[in-house]
Structure 1
């Protein structure tokens, strides 16, 4: 096969959602009911390894495991490891509030006491890439690793960067994770509002890699645009219920996961994910296609 004939199509082969009131892509697409119980990461991945990890990282662990299993890349027992080479799986994570509580706590300690009073267990979690790196370390994902935290478009940007790495041949598949925790520090930042306290994760693969392992294609990643004019006719749009709060860096991932849920339920038309606004800092949109329509 020549370089000119390589199939650079990127597909979704796994998707997971963890939100109060929704723990499947179908439930997300249908609209989570208000009053759902908070997500308990330990119920999904056990308590081992959760101590000293911030809420965003704990949620990220649970979402990563669920998405990898949904794609057929990880067995029921984490100890069994991946079913594909570790170097073939990268990570791109998106979170704008992820470790904000850890950073604020460390800064408060330094201001009120001294740097030597900071917790040695806290400081490793103060790096902005802690969600992406922690997921990679726990699940042995040794491909490229990237953290995106650039505002409202962050989630769709993360999907775009993952698809770009795959299409360029940098890696065969990428775990894309979008998560936002809800805590006192985040609520102060949001002026009393709250964050979703959960998120979504996807497994993106090249079509060729998916076919080689006979994976089920759940959606096809279409064109991505940043700063483009509004295109309301491009495809159906899914809206996050307001009661769930601010999704921020998880917003784009939740929209893509909802598109997978719509396709799973028989939707055949394209679904458009949109983040940001033309009059804000930035705007991005991504078109998702049903597998049978691509």
Structure 2
């Protein structure tokens, strides 16, 4: 079968279309015939060697090649032992949350643990469904860490992006009052996702948010990695979720509780996100599709910026 791998870290050209053995599911695992795989910033960070350099995965060379791609939508075509919840023929979405693996979702097939797989939305095409697992779970797990009650105020940075957009929708669904920041041209989009208040990118964020919410918001999901600029908009004793950790994680000033969102696969949570998509409460956004063999072009477009939604690779 075909798979996109990286042998030596580098730019988009480091992505290599390779022949690979069809993986065999072990106990507690399933194999998915890939219909669609989303292209995410973490894929670019893996390909470039940034994650290895940060100590988040073993250095390149510790195995012959590294697989790329976290998000998948497709059909189960084999199951290993002790799998009872998933059957051959099921349409599913899944998340590969392990970094040091020889094959990722950019492939004709992928093997995942069964607890990293959930039923796909019934009303959403696979290309759109593939954008849900990583970005939807990141937004959901950030909100869970904040633990804000209905009626509380929340700042979402990067609200027009994939994680930020899902965070706005999920927060509004929980009854939170959302203040969102994005490009001025995205205001209608962001308000349509459920934002009650809007701050255009480029404004002094802390002052602008506090003009709307005196004293500051109760919490923030920092999907745009604004760090201390976003923290300044949070009230004393509030809470803050940084979606990637590292240098974008601010110090817990003014008694603010700062969380790092380290994404993890969660079948039950993914099933809930799929249900919200079927109910029209979660809006997958696809910036474009490319064939698997053109993964390097997809990464070049990702790095050029300006996308709204995710690029998706198809067989």
Quick check: TM above 0.5? no
Q: Which of structures 1 and 2 has the bigger CA Rg?
A: 2
Higher strand residue share: 2
Q: TM-score, normalised by structure 1?
A: 0.29
Higher helix residue share: 1
Higher relative contact order (Cα pairs below 8 Å, separated by 6+ residues) = 1
Q: TM-score, normalised by structure 2?
A: 0.28
